[in-house]
Every structure is written in C-alpha cells, then in structure tokens.
C-alpha cells in the first residue's frame, strides 16, 4: 500500500532542505542554490548520463559515493559547470563549503549543477551564500530546494509517498528538474530522492539502476541527452526497519515505492517539457519482448513530426506508424492498432496497419486536451511499455533560440 | 572535369519529362503528378528506406527493377499511398497506366508517392490526367516534373552535370523532393536521377549504394525516417561510351559525377528543410575512423537544441559538445575544437573541450547568415565527414502542427 504524502524531499525522517538565490546568473529571480541534508549518514546510490561529455559534478559525486555513503546534496542551477577547465576544482569547493558548514566529511557530499554548458562557474556567490543556506535548513525546505534546481522549468517537481517495510512506516520523496535536453540514456536530468528506509548501499543501487530502465529512460523531451543527468537516492535508515540486505519482501516494497515516485516524476517532467502544452503518454502493448515494446514507445514520443501534430491536435496516426517502423523494434506494421485517448474519450484510428474511418471532429476534441494517451497494440505478444513525452511547440523553439544570453 | 549544365532530369540524352496538376489533394495549386521517360530501356538502380513501414510504391518498384532495367518513373505528391489496404493495387495501376500510354511493359516502370500516410489514394484523378501527362512529355519538362513531387518544399530541386567517360561526354541530372520526415537510413526522400552513360546495372547499383552512405545518409531535417524514401537512377547508354562493366576509370568518373550531384542535392534539401531559415553544414575532421566522423557530424546537425540555437543565431557551442558526446562516436571530448563560419567570417569558440573568449557580437554576425558551417576538429585522426541539416523554427512547428487536414 503506497500512499501520497506531502513534504517532498523532507518527507523522510531526518532530512532537511533549503534553497536560496545566490546570484549565479544575472537576472534570475528564482532560487539557484539548493541543499539537502540527512541528520545521519545515509546509504547512497546514483545513476549518471552516458553522454561522453560529462559535467564535472558527476565525476566528483561518483567518487564521493564510491563507498556507498553520503549525507548531503548541494546543487546549483544557472550553470552546468561542464566543459570548463576548472570544473572539478569548483565542484570540490562546493562540497567543501557544505562539509565545513555542517561538520561532515566532504566525501559525504553529492554535488550537481545544471544550466549553461561551457561558462566558468564562480565559487564566489556560492561561498557567500552558504552560511545562510545552511542556517535556513528545515523540514519545510523541500519547496525552496525544488525551486533552486529549476532552469526553464515552469513548475516545481516534488512528491513523496509512504509505504511499509519490515513492519515500519517508511517514506520516500524527491525533487526533480526538467525540462530540456532530456532523452535519458541509463540516467536522466537531475532527480534527488530521499528515504528513511534502512537498506544496504548495494541493494539501494540495484533498486535504482533497475528502476531507471522503466522510468527515466522512457522519457524524452527533445532527443538531446544531457551532459549533467543524474539521479541520486539517499536512504538514512531512520524509519527503523531491519536493514534490507537481500531481495526480500521489504526490498520489493521499496522497489514498488520507488517506481511510484519515479513514474510520477516522469509525468511531471514530460508535462513541463520546454514549451510543452500537452503531456503525451505512449503505451505499447502486445509486443513480443519488453525491449521491443520500450523501443517502439520511446520512438513514438521522440518523433518531432508526431509531437508537432499533437501540438496541432491533428490525429496524424501515419506518423505513429512511421516512428514505430523506424524504431528498430521487431513489430509487424500489418498488426498494429492505434487509438488516442484523453479526458474527452477514446478513438480508434488505425487497425492492422491501415486507416479506419473516424470522426475528425471527435479526434480533434480528444486531442485538444492537455494529457493525451497514445495507445498502440503491436500484436498478440505478452509485453508492454510506457514512454512519456510532450508536444513540440513554438515556445520550444523560442526558449532554445536564445537560452544562453 | 565535372561541369554544371541545365536541363535537370532531362539533361541526359533521350530523357523527357512532364508534370501536371491532377487534383490528388484538394486545394493544391502546384503540380502533383510527374513522369520521366527514357526513349530506350535503361539500366536501373535504387535504394529504399529502412523503415519497416514501407510505402506500397517501394514494394512495386523493387519488383519492377529486379531485372536491373526500367524505362519510366511515375510519381505523385499529396498522398504517400502507405498504410492503405489497397496500396499495392493502386501502385500497380499507376504503372499500368504509364505502360499502356507509352507502349512499354509495366515491369519497366518505377513508381513513387509522397504525402500523407494512411489515406486511400484514388486512381481516378491519375487515370484521367495520364493522357495529358504523356502528351506533354518534353526535353524541357524537368521543371514541371520537379514541381510535381513537391510537398512542403518551398523550392524545386533539380540540377545536372556533364562529365567524360570512355571518351564521350556523359550527362547526369536529377530532381528531388524534401523537406520533412528526413533522417535517411540507407536511403532518403525522393530523388530521381537520370544519365545517358552506358553502365551495367550491377555497377550502377554499386555506385549508388556506395554514394548514399556519404551523401543522403548524412542529411537530417527532423530525425524522422520516412516510410517512402527512395533514390533511383536510370542510365540509358545514349552517350555512346563503351558500357562500364568493371570498376575502371570510367566507373570512377561516373562515381565522382554522382557524388557531385547527390551532395548538391543534400545541400538543397537541407536548406529547404521544413520551416528552415538556415542551412547547417557540419564537418568533423581529425577523427580516428570514418564512422566516428560521420556519427559525430550527423548527431550535431540532428540536435533539436543546437538547431534552435542556430535559428536564434546563438553561439551555444556547449550543445555541439553535448551532441558529440551522446553520439556514440569514439571522440575524446577533451580534444575537441569548435568554430563557426559563414560568409561573414569564422570564429573559434571552443578549444580542447573548453570555452575560449570570443566576441559575442562577431559570433552573432556570423550566425545571422543563411548558410552556416559548423567546424569540429576531433583530434589528430585522419578521417573527416560532412553532414547537412537546418535550423529548427516556429514554422517547422506550424507546418507540422496541421499538415494533414
């Protein structure tokens, strides 16, 4: 039984957070520096972008959690600290500032940055703001921290759930930032998860790594895999459950809670994709293998042509067949059925790979909603998969035509 | 010595063409039906999309040129004749109409369609227009034929060259249609090439198949691989050269002419990409293998983020590093140099994977031109490759938000 609760990244026992505006980038009015702290050392796990160009913070974080432990997360927006000669130095300095301020080892600090690539990140505004950032840490700080990692995001992404493991109530919450350069490959944008469950680091990593494949890796905003993608989870054990050290019932309960949180975050991220007016959720059923279902679903929500058609509420299902066709999935086009669904109803548009008569008026009505399900039956196979994306709009072009300056 | 000449698809001896408006799609004012005819049977070769969803015309064409011979090409726009239950039947009927009209076998007719996927194509307007289409065939018909295959294209694409083989002057010309759903995979949009060179069908196919890899496969407008991509070439031997039956000097002369024509068509197609305001030509040099150079160059011109930045004349080179990084090419990010070039000059923006100081004003001036070279040095390797693309604009979204209705 998984139940939604409030508190975001501070919902789990022992976690505090804060976010402030330190002035990394001129003109910004939202927070740009966030801190999350556990009152005790926590098991830590992470997955990172597979882009060969990697932000310096990822290198530092990887090293710091190599022992499976961490206690704090520092993250800034406005500058990705990537492709800079002194990137590692700055990322390490950020960790040191946190470590000195709260009295822990700098090796227990996770560091992340997001924003423009290739501009030198000055440590000055961060150093200046650190005392206030630390002084303001509180159990109500998730909102401020979620804001501090936003770039072109228009809404904060945070949520938390409660579940039971080892007879104890456990909590898992998180914050995330979207909303462009998202086409994850074994990892994703920035997502920070916290839990009070007791779990061995190796199993925490296993649960996270396995979850990513079905959630963040099935999300695409624009086909560009970021240099700074990172998902981390800290689990501090304060829920008091017996530590999970094997793949038992408690492990499965945690994995289920993790899936509830990550798939909800995927929806939130896709819906707030840069310039997006519509959330697209594509579900492929009836595939012969899980991989085929995933490849086909992801190809559909990644198609610029389909994304533009959805923006225009145009039931152009041929573009769906086309995207399934070039996806590389082993799907027989002659077996494919397609329908669209939203709050306004459902309409079938293609059966066995060919068009069927349908009401254009009804289709337009269904596709004018802001959450669209694209339902694809690939045949009689046993496997299905879901991918999340958004429409392609004038505003995507506008946002990215002059993001840097 | 390769020389540009006029005449397009009719530049080669013995070829006539025509295009007319037969009314396949309501509201269209441009031609929508094109015919190219050789006065004698010609060696024929083709490459096709690798999309699993294939237009019915491709299936029929493949069968018709399986003997290495063809004499005519019939093509329509306004409807792709793809994902229709009666697609094959209609494509065959189109060939039969041509064959009966000009007195050849229907097995010597190449057929192609482009336009909306999944709407039944009526043979009626085509049958009705066929007599006039045939009656109007002429050596001045390339323009009309080029227009007849345009969909969202804003300009016609045709060109021709003259070269020498076997002591005789030979000609090679072509017409093409872009401009969306272009991200070729072993083939491309619609391109019809004609030559009067004498060449054995097997060598014609070999030359075409090898050329595609360096030209049309290095072109991307929007990342969507079409269901109807096809490149065909007819060579009727009327130039009088000794038939090319081995990879000799004449073969190389033909291959060189072919490359001149296809790479020029790539530029034309990319520049007229849907909604495009700028041609992007990305050249990667210094790679360790040809494949790495090609993968990296294609990844850069396929990036939605970079394409939007180019629309905004924003020198956001971080997105170039990012796209190289996720491309899968074996390139060391720390060795990458980047510069931009146009008619207004050249500016270096990144050296050894990190930003260098540059004039934003000068960069803006360079990037405000309508043809931009993106120059990437990947290191000290011996291989280079070029890819063609275009910027991502409001108009791309507009065109594709409501293309179908």
Asked if residue A175 belongs to a domain, the reply is yes
Q: Which of A333, A355, A401 sits opposite B119 (nearest CB)?
A: A355
pLDDT in tens, A80-102: 999 888 999 999 999 999 999 99
pLDDT of residue B405: 52
Task: Look at A326 and B401 and tell me if their CB atoms are within 8 Å.
Answer: no
Asked if residue A241 belongs to a domain, the reply is yes
Residue A187 has pLDDT above 50, yes or no: no
Q: How many domains does chain A have?
A: 2
Asked if residue A38 belongs to a domain, the reply is yes
Instruction: Spell out which residues of chain B touch residue A302, defining contact as CB-CB under 8 Å.
Output: 223
Task: Look at A393 and B396 and tell me if their CB atoms are within 8 Å.
Answer: no
Residues A69 and A107 in one domain: yes
pLDDT in tens, B155-174: 888 999 999 999 999 999 99
Residues B258 and B297 in one domain: no
Residues B356 and B260 in one domain: no
pTM of the predicted structure, to 2 decimals: 0.80
Tokens of B209: 């198949």
pLDDT in tens, A62-71: 999 999 999 9
CATH code for position B155: 3.60.70.12
Asked if residue A274 belongs to a domain, the reply is no
Say if residues B84 and B59 touch (Cβ distance below 8 Å).
no
Residues B43 and B8 in one domain: yes
Residue A73 has pLDDT above 70, yes or no: yes
Of A269, A293, A327, which residue constitutes the final position of a domain?
A269
Residues A262 and A286 in one domain: no
Residue A111 has pLDDT above 70, yes or no: yes
Q: Is B354 on the interface with A (CB under 8 A)?
A: yes
Expressed in percent and rounded to 5, the helix, strand and coil fractions of chain B are: 35, 30, 40
pLDDT of residue A331: 93
pLDDT in tens, A310-324: 999 999 998 999 899
Nearest 10 degrees: Cα torsion B206, B383, B182, B44: -10
pLDDT of residue A186: 43
pLDDT of residue B28: 86
CATH code for position A378: 3.10.20.340
Of B238, B271, B304, which residue constitutes the final position of a domain?
B271
User: What DSSP character marks residue B210?
Assistant: H
Residues A39 and A11 in one domain: yes
Q: How far is A352 from chain B (nearest CA, A)?
A: 9
pLDDT of residue A397: 87
Mean pLDDT of A250-262: 91
B86-93, long-range: CB within 8 Å, 24+ apart, which pairs?
B86/B120, B87/B55, B87/B56, B87/B57, B87/B121, B88/B56, B88/B59, B88/B60, B90/B56, B90/B121, B90/B123, B91/B56, B91/B57, B91/B59, B91/B60, B92/B60, B93/B123, B93/B126, B93/B127
Instruction: Spell out which residues of chain B touch residue A53, defining contact as CB-CB under 8 Å.
Output: 321-322, 324-326, 333, 353
Instruction: Spell out which residues of chain B touch residue A224, defining contact as CB-CB under 8 Å.
Output: 303-305, 319, 322-323, 326
pLDDT of residue B213: 78
- For A145-173, give the DSSP string: HHHHT-SS-SS-EEEEEEEEETTEEEEEE
Q: Is B117 on the interface with A (CB under 8 A)?
A: yes
pLDDT in tens, B55-71: 899 999 999 999 999 99
Asked if residue A297 belongs to a domain, the reply is yes
Of A262-271, B150-159, B316-325, the range with the highest mean pLDDT is B316-325
Which chain B residue lies closest to A310 (C-alpha atoms)? B401
Residues B124 and B208 in one domain: yes
pLDDT of residue A405: 52
pLDDT of residue B116: 84
Of A269, A294, A323, which residue constitutes the final position of a domain?
A269
Residues A205 and A318 in one domain: no
Q: Which domain holds residue B260?
A: 3-271
- Measure the N-to-C terminal CA separation of chain A; round to a whole number of Å: 48
């Amino acid at each position: 039984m998984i139940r939604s609760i409030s508190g975001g990244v501070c919902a789990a026992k022992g976690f505090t957070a804060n976010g402030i505006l330190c002035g990394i980038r001129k003109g910004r009015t939202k927070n740009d520096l966030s801190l999350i702290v556990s009152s005790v050392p926590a098991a830590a796990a992470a997955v990172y972008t597979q882009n060969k160009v990697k932000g310096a913070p990822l290198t530092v974080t990887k090293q710091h959690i190599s022992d499976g432990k961490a206690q704090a997360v520092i993250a800034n927006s406005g500058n990705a600290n990537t492709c800079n000669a002194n990137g590692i130095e700055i990322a390490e300095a950020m960790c040191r500032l946190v470590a000195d301020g709260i009295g822990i080892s700098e090796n227990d600090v996770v560091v992340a940055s997001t924003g423009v690539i290739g501009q030198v990140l000055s440590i000055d505004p961060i150093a200046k703001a650190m005392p206030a950032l630390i002084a303001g840490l509180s159990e109500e700080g998730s909102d401020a921290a979620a804001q501090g990692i936003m770039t072109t995001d228009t809404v904060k992404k945070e949520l938390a759930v409660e579940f039971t493991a080892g007879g104890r109530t456990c909590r898992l919450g998180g914050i995330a930032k979207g909303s462009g350069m998202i086409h994850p490959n074994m990892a994703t944008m920035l997502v920070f998860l916290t839990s009070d469950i007791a779990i061995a680091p190796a199993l925490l990593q296993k649960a996270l790594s396995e979850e990513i494949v079905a959630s963040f890796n099935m999300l695409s905003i624009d086909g560009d895999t970021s240099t700074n993608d990172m998902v981390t989870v800290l689990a501090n054990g304060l829920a008091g459950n017996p530590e999970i050290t094997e793949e038992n019932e408690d492990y499965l309960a945690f994995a289920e809670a993790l899936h509830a949180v990550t798939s909800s975050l995927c929806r939130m991220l896709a819906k707030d994709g840069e310039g997006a007016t519509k959330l697209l959720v594509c579900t492929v059923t009836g595939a012969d293998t899980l991989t085929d279902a995933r490849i086909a679903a992801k190809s559909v929500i990644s198609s610029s042509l389909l994304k533009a058609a959805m923006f225009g509420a145009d039931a152009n299902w041929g573009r769906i067949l086309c995207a399934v066709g070039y996806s590389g999935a082993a799907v027989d086009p002659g077996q494919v059925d397609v329908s669209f669904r939203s709050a306004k109803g459902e309409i079938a548009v293609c059966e066995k790979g060919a068009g069927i008569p349908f009401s254009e008026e009804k289709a337009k009505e269904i596709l004018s909603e802001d959450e669209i399900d694209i339902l694809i039956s690939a045949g009689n196979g046993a496997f299905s998969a879901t991918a999340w994306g958004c429409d392609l709009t004038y505003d995507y072009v506008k946002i990215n035509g002059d993001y840097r300056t």
